[in-house]
Structure 1
Amino acid sequence: MAHIKEDPEEKKNHSSFQISGVGVGVGDEEDFTDNSPIEEVRLTVPITDDPTEPALTFRTWFLGLISLAMLAFVNQFFEFRQNTLSISTVSAQIITLPLGRLMAAKLPTTKLKVPLTNWSFSLNPGPFTLKEHVLITILAGAGSSGVYAVNIIAIVKAFYKRQINPFAAFLLAQTTQMLGYGWAGVFRRILVDSPYMWWPANLVQVSLFRALHEKEGRIKGTLTRLQFFLVMFIASFAYYLIPGYLFPSISSISFACFIWKDKIIPQQIGSGLKGLGIGAFTLDWSTVAGFLGSPLAYPSFAIINTMFGFVLFVYIINPIAYYTNSYDAKRFPIYSSKTYDHEGHIYNISRILNKQTFTLDIPEYDGYSKIYLSIFFAFAYGLSFASLPAVLSYVWLNHGKEIFRMWKATAASLKEEVGDVHTRLMKRNYEPVPNWWFYIILVAMLALSILSCEGFGKQLQLPWWGILLACAMALFFTLPIGIITATTNQQPGLNVITELVIGFMYPGRPLANVTFKTYGYISMTQAIYFLSDFKLGHYMKIPPRSMFIVQTVGTLLASTIHFSTAWYLLTSIENICNTDLLPDGSPWTCPGDEVFYNASIIWGVVGPGRMFTRAGVYGSLNWFFLIGFLAPIPVWYLAKKFPNKKWIKQIHVPLILTATSAMPPARSINYTSWTVVGLFFNYYIYNKYKQWWARNNYILSAALDAGVAFMGVFLYFALQDNDINGPEWWGLDFSDHCNVAKCALSPVIQVEGCPPIG
């Protein structure tokens, strides 16, 4: 096959690409076979391919599987800790490049034969290639992505204190991750082969791969990018000994609580963990990057929109609603993810659950109390109601014509069997993945899904028709949400819709609700994740069959490691997730799983019919569906009326409405510290020291994350797993010492540890 030479015009400015989400340049259809009809793609993706370049090699599997295993273990390990920390694939992407080159320089080139087959391979097929690096990163990405179903296993064992068959739990983890791959193949022709489905986020990866593979010479007086990574990694690793073991209290420092030690309102305002976090700060990177991800990886406009939404809902709407006693808010803390009864005590779920059937005992519920939430948690659900219609409305107003134009062009190109240069090269140089590969996955995973729910004593409570309905919802939404994601970088989620549907159809069963939500929400998400990776392989000219093998094998192995890690921690750490019984300094508080548990009570045990209708306390929150749909309209109108006011176009209503979607379990301190650090690097440093930023920003982010992760794992296995905790002193507590910030303001509520209100 001929090697297509790169267009010199395409080569210019390829590294200057930025995702704008608007203004996509669509070229003339008769010209796009020589390049892409999308301007951003033309500026970023090379129109070259060398089909003889090695891709799926021994180095790919060796480095990819090690990266997958480490990221899967570390990310699941931190999932149960006070500050959840997710290590992205960027760390593996940076570290494996010099390792791959080292293997290319040192390994022998002798071919090895696979026993009992005619296959052979070389440990060293030549120079380390870009294609190998892409496949390694995709394998690592399978490990860094969480397994949503692990939350179900965690709440069963740690919160409901029930047993679950380990094989049923294992099947649940595997099938929820793999099921969406079965129908991803149905849509790949539209969402991958079409040049108009351009997947903006992938262009960042393409730019990073090209930057990493450009030859780099060390400038005198400076460090190479690898040297800079190692220095920052060592510094982060060494420093995390302090907040991770010796002085956990510096994770959140709230001056208001030191001044007003027994005053509820000042502590509610000042606490970074249990309140609004005004004046609180942190000296711990895991607090900065926990829950929200590294702020160095977010553009400044996204940080500003997120902070605007945070200020609006946390500093304005939430205090007004609380101190005016909306929904009896003063009976409960100002910020909490727990559920409460009318007396302000933690809701005793065991009183309303039938111990034999593990379903709602309606007479007991009627004789006990309706479920109440903190005002913030209630509004968090309201905002989740608003988010999906807001995204749909925003995308339609701002990108509707663009999507319609691209859909028409896609339909025409598929009908005429034409494509851009990238599609043409892929079809010419590589064999496609047969459809029956996808159908086998779909049939096998569907059968195993039904087995996991209907077998093993029906521990998951969801009948076979629930699986089919969840799959039908996911399949229905995959194409429209895939088109939105592939053209605008916006991805609406189905978590609220799925738990709402099954909550009305099959109430009183907590595990049925969360299982249905997982199959409906995650299988669609995984299908889009699969297609997004396939498009990255399309741009980087990776053989499709190699992509398929790496994605499926990687997902199966990653799901196994996530499940095994979670099962080990849940069965070996005494009182994990139980903050009342954990020793001082223990980080195993499971903040994300606590939110998932309370959601299972709200949507599963009690159900939306008793919560979000006239029969419940929070029926008026349904207005948020309409608010979300209408909210983008004023901004869209102003942007049209004042086209010269560019700042109006930067107002991103869905981002504002979903700004606090990580709260709970995230706290105020996570948001304020994330914003300060993010704006410092991605606004101040970006504008004043752009060359340094371009060279080091993402590498610094990866080094800080990796240093914290490795020290956290080291501390657990070397010390904490052997019951060697830090020195007993005031700073050992994983809190900000705002002891009364959790208290209510109602004089009729008496909670242990809280001063009387009178």
Structure 2
Amino acid sequence: MDTTPLLRRKNITRPSGITSEATRSEGEEELENEIEAELENSPVEQVALTVPVTDDPTLPVTTFRMWFLGALSCVVLSFLNQFFWYRTEPLSISAVSAQIAVVPLGHLMARTLPDRVFFKGRPWEFTLNPGPFNIKEHVLITIFANCGAGTVYAIHIVTVIKAFYQKHIGFFVSFVVVLTTQILGFGWAGIFRRYLVEPASMWWPANLVQVSLFRALHEKEKRPRGSLSRNQFFLVAFICSFAYYVVPGYLFPMVTSLSWLCWIFPKSVLYQQLGSGLYGLGIGAIGIDWSTISSYLGSPLASPWFATANIAAGFVLVMYIVTPLAYWLNLYKAKTFPIFSDDLFTASGQEYNISSIITSDFKLDLAAYEREGPLYLSTFFAFTYGVGFASLTATVVHVSLFHGREIWELSKSAFQEKKIDIHTRLMRKYKQAPEWWFMIILLINVGVTIFACEYYNDQLQLPWWGVLLACTLAIFFTLPIGIITATTNQTPGLNIITEYIIGYLYPGYPVANMCFKVYGYISMTQAITFLQDFKLGHYMKIPPVTMFMAQIVGTLISGIVYLGTAWWLLDSITDICNTSLLPSSSPWTCPSDRVFYDASVIWGLIGPRRIFGDLGIYEAINWFFLAGAIAPLLVWCAHKAYPDKEWIRLINMPVLIGATGMMPPATAVNYTSWIIVGFIFGFLVYRYRRDWWQRNNYVLSGALDAGLAFMGVLLYLCLGLEDISLNWWGSDLDGCSLATCPTAKGVYVEGCPVFK
């Protein structure tokens, strides 16, 4: 490579007479390497500003510290996240908390553990203390922690069967379902690594938060004059977040959703429907609480502005145009029910008695269903399913139109040398985890799943062909949904289409429906999670084989701990999840599991044909499939007609249409608060204070997560265990008690006015 033009751009001249590689000075070679690295840097600006383009392959990675702290963080996060999952305001403790907490522990172990070498000179030589605690160990510990962050989706099946249906499922059967659903996605991840990890355009925005935090915690940085270093900034933001969360977490919970319209009109059903952030449209509602902002959509600081804008447009369209029009036009008897609710209703607006239509062998009692009458949904809940239909077809069409050629080129050149960026070039130095490892895991999991579903069919209800069909759906959608996630930080779900398909093919079996959904949906989601971790390791130059081992072990540990914690809580807390029997002050209301239960009734027990089909009320909702397929085509045509208008290409229909996919259990205030913060940091700060954004944006996101998590745990340990609470007007989360009332004439609901 002739670097003379590059050197000229850097105001460097090559000394006279020096023309060969061998005779160039070391300083000049280093400078040229630096220039080459800069030119090979990621074409994505956020990545180029955040991820280092260097690597030190001599750093020890598979150390005792890594395995010990990684397993410990995975166990602790798995326990805490499942413990808080059943609560009314679930607290999700992200891996960022462990990422920070293990730093002093890692340095302590580096100072105190003996450095004696065992089995010296042999292939299995090792030492407990190979030297200073380093960044690559820290990344792998965080990969372990990622396995314990969030929740294990298959636990929903156990909770719904035991707590809502009050039927039997064995611990071993539950363990097999949890384990296979968590690991099944590993097979898809191995297949799609070359498409979703190596290309620079697949940049995975959420990873940049962790990369920034790693650099802040490990790199020595000189404090800029008149400013703070990244370490200092993180510490200040962490302390502020930690101290502030005592306000929404204990002293003044109302700041979770400040719905001022309800305060101005305390006796108006209409204004409370409009203004409630938790039970209505959330007009003007805002949450001054990081958990409100980040709980369902993730950190708005990690979302690129174009994705935030698409979500904002989709939210406004569904929440402020479609829903009010449908409600006040009384579409599907909308005024008989709350404007925003995930409950199931009778035609008279009363809650549906599901237990009355279930037979003793856990199937639909058709005669009882005919007596009870058809099941109704709130209009918003019905449209939520329509949005899910549209988002699915929009994802397939969008990826085909905008990324089809790229996918085809990658497929053709999969085994050929191709142009790569600096990060992929550096990773080529390490031994890759062979694809057949992933295929073996995939085949074993499919075999075990089929055996479990056939042998324990009385508990799981899913036939063998259902397992194969679920796997087919998962592998088909992993690539298009992976592309959406890798470029926008938003993940469209397969939960609705999986429920829809098995509901038509195998109606009347609620557990079969739940199992099919989990195997079809969560195996794809797990594949996306694994791929995101692969990309984090790619950015931080972690050997792929070591990544493989850490992910497998972490997934096994998290599955065991999650299930054990859930089983303990379900057996030890009286009436858990049963809001009709729990005391009003009880936090164990299980909001997310309630939505999962409702879905099992709609799609599994009763079946889509009696709700969304020719025997149902909501048949017209199926037109959303067609609308979703057409929408990306319109954007593509506009882009072709006006190729110079770059903003047209930034319209991402899968994200825009699926914006409200998390609602419910997410509420309006979660979205309004998230959008406002996303606009401030993703647009204003990024555009007008670029230097500050580059140094502090992702560090701030990590500090807010960590401060919230640590104070949340501390409040529970100090006050929650002793049931010490405040009871005053600021303790009311929303203050909009009338927002859930119907407005149809003559409908009586306890606690609501009757309109005449």
Q: Check the 8 A contact 2:185/2:524 in 1, yes or no.
A: yes
Distance in 1, matches of 2:244 and 2:424, equals 48
What CA deviation, in whole Å up to 9, does each residue of 1:16-37 have, x standing for no partner? 86479xxxxxxxxxxxxxxxxx
1:739 aligns with 737
CA apart distance, 1:710:
2.4
- Select which of 34, 38, 42 maps to 1:12: 38
- Structure 1 portions without partners, runs of 5+: 21-39
What CA deviation, in whole Å up to 9, does each residue of 1:378-423 have, x standing for no partner? 1100000000111122222222333333333336559xxx988877
Q: Check the 8 A contact 2:97/2:710 in 1, yes or no.
A: no
Q: Check the 8 A contact 1:83/1:291 in 2, yes or no.
A: no
Q: Check the 8 A contact 2:343/2:378 in 1, yes or no.
A: yes
2:287 aligns with 282
Distance in 2, matches of 1:49 and 1:701, equals 25
1:204-243 map, 5 Å: 204=208, 208=212, 211-212=215-216, 213-219=218-224, 222-243=227-248
- Answering whether residue 255 of structure 2 is matched by residue 250 of structure 1, we say yes
CA gap of 1:390–1:437, structure 2 versus 1, over 3 A, is closer
- Answering whether residue 64 of structure 2 is matched by residue 64 of structure 1, we say no
Q: Check the 8 A contact 1:726/1:732 in 2, yes or no.
A: no
Distance in 2, matches of 1:350 and 1:182, equals 39
- Select which of 356, 364, 369 maps to 1:360: 364
CA gap of 1:693–1:71, structure 2 versus 1, over 3 A, is farther
CA apart distance, 1:487:
8.1
- Select which of 101, 107, 132 maps to 1:127: 132
Q: Check the 8 A contact 1:11/1:46 in 2, yes or no.
A: no
What CA deviation, in whole Å up to 9, does each residue of 1:558-584 have, x standing for no partner? 122222232333333333333344444
Q: Check the 8 A contact 2:276/2:282 in 1, yes or no.
A: yes
- Answering whether residue 462 of structure 2 is matched by residue 465 of structure 1, we say no
Distance in 2, matches of 1:660 and 1:610, equals 25
CA gap of 1:567–1:13, structure 2 versus 1, over 3 A, is farther
CA apart distance, 1:222:
4.3
What CA deviation, in whole Å up to 9, does each residue of 1:539-560 have, x standing for no partner? 5443332122111001111122
- Select which of 307, 312, 320 maps to 1:315: 320
- Answering whether residue 81 of structure 2 is matched by residue 75 of structure 1, we say yes
AA in 2 matched with 1:63: L
1:179 aligns with 184
CA gap of 1:281–1:525, structure 2 versus 1, over 3 A, is closer
Q: After the TM superposition, which of the residue ranges 705-714 and 101-110 deviates more from structure 2?
A: 101-110
Count of matched residue positions in the alignment of Structure 1 and Structure 2: 726
Distance in 2, matches of 1:590 and 1:123, equals 43
Distance in 1, matches of 2:510 and 2:203, equals 36
CA apart distance, 1:52:
3.7
Distance in 1, matches of 2:67 and 2:435, equals 25
Secondary structure of 1:7 counterpart: helix
1:725 aligns with 724
CA gap of 1:741–1:375, structure 2 versus 1, over 3 A, is same
Secondary structure of 1:269 counterpart: helix
Secondary structure of 1:410 counterpart: coil
Q: Check the 8 A contact 1:481/1:491 in 2, yes or no.
A: yes
Q: Check the 8 A contact 1:426/1:538 in 2, yes or no.
A: yes
- Answering whether residue 377 of structure 2 is matched by residue 386 of structure 1, we say no
1:377 aligns with 381
CA apart distance, 1:631:
0.9
- Select which of 734, 749, 752 maps to 2:750: 752
Q: After the TM superposition, which of the residue ranges 447-456 and 331-340 deviates more from structure 2?
A: 447-456
1:297 aligns with 302
AA in 1 matched with 2:346: D
AA in 1 matched with 2:364: L
Identity %: 53
What CA deviation, in whole Å up to 9, does each residue of 1:452-493 have, x standing for no partner? 434457212223332233234334544665577678877654
CA gap of 1:719–1:222, structure 2 versus 1, over 3 A, is same
User: RMSD of the TM alignment (CA)?
Assistant: 3.3
Distance in 1, matches of 2:406 and 2:487, equals 8
- Structure 2 portions without partners, runs of 5+: 1-28
CA apart distance, 1:129:
3.4
Distance in 2, matches of 1:10 and 1:90, equals 33
AA in 2 matched with 1:740: L
Secondary structure of 2:721 counterpart: helix
CA apart distance, 1:436:
5.9
CA gap of 1:239–1:567, structure 2 versus 1, over 3 A, is farther
CA gap of 1:635–1:484, structure 2 versus 1, over 3 A, is closer
Distance in 2, matches of 1:685 and 1:420, equals 28
Distance in 1, matches of 2:745 and 2:442, equals 58
1:508 aligns with 508
What CA deviation, in whole Å up to 9, does each residue of 1:568-623 have, x standing for no partner? 33333333333344444443332211111111111001111111112101110110
CA gap of 1:640–1:476, structure 2 versus 1, over 3 A, is closer
CA gap of 1:271–1:47, structure 2 versus 1, over 3 A, is closer
Q: Check the 8 A contact 2:204/2:532 in 1, yes or no.
A: no
What CA deviation, in whole Å up to 9, does each residue of 1:495-522 have, x standing for no partner? 2222122111111111110111111122
What CA deviation, in whole Å up to 9, does each residue of 1:190-227 have, x standing for no partner? 54797689555587479637844543123465444333
Q: After the TM superposition, which of the residue ranges 435-444 and 555-564 deviates more from structure 2?
A: 435-444
1:376-415 map, 5 Å: 376-410=380-414, 412-413=416-417
CA gap of 1:731–1:580, structure 2 versus 1, over 3 A, is farther
Q: Check the 8 A contact 1:534/1:547 in 2, yes or no.
A: yes
Secondary structure of 2:126 counterpart: strand
1:595-674 map, 5 Å: 595-674=595-674
CA apart distance, 1:253:
2.5
CA gap of 1:624–1:82, structure 2 versus 1, over 3 A, is same
Secondary structure of 1:321 counterpart: helix
1:432-447 map, 5 Å: 432-433=432-433, 437-447=437-447
CA gap of 1:268–1:492, structure 2 versus 1, over 3 A, is closer
CA gap of 1:570–1:284, structure 2 versus 1, over 3 A, is farther
CA gap of 1:588–1:318, structure 2 versus 1, over 3 A, is same
1:707 aligns with 707
Q: Check the 8 A contact 1:89/1:141 in 2, yes or no.
A: yes
AA in 2 matched with 1:745: T
CA apart distance, 1:757:
0.4
What CA deviation, in whole Å up to 9, does each residue of 1:337-360 have, x standing for no partner? 111111111111111111x11110
TM-score (norm 1): 0.87
Q: After the TM superposition, which of the residue ranges 364-373 and 622-631 deviates more from structure 2?
A: 364-373
Q: After the TM superposition, which of the residue ranges 681-690 and 203-212 deviates more from structure 2?
A: 203-212
CA gap of 1:530–1:239, structure 2 versus 1, over 3 A, is closer
1:34 aligns with none
Distance in 2, matches of 1:548 and 1:505, equals 37
Distance in 2, matches of 1:688 and 1:500, equals 46
1:32 aligns with none
Q: After the TM superposition, which of the residue ranges 404-413 and 479-488 deviates more from structure 2?
A: 479-488
AA in 1 matched with 2:710: F
CA apart distance, 1:298:
1.6
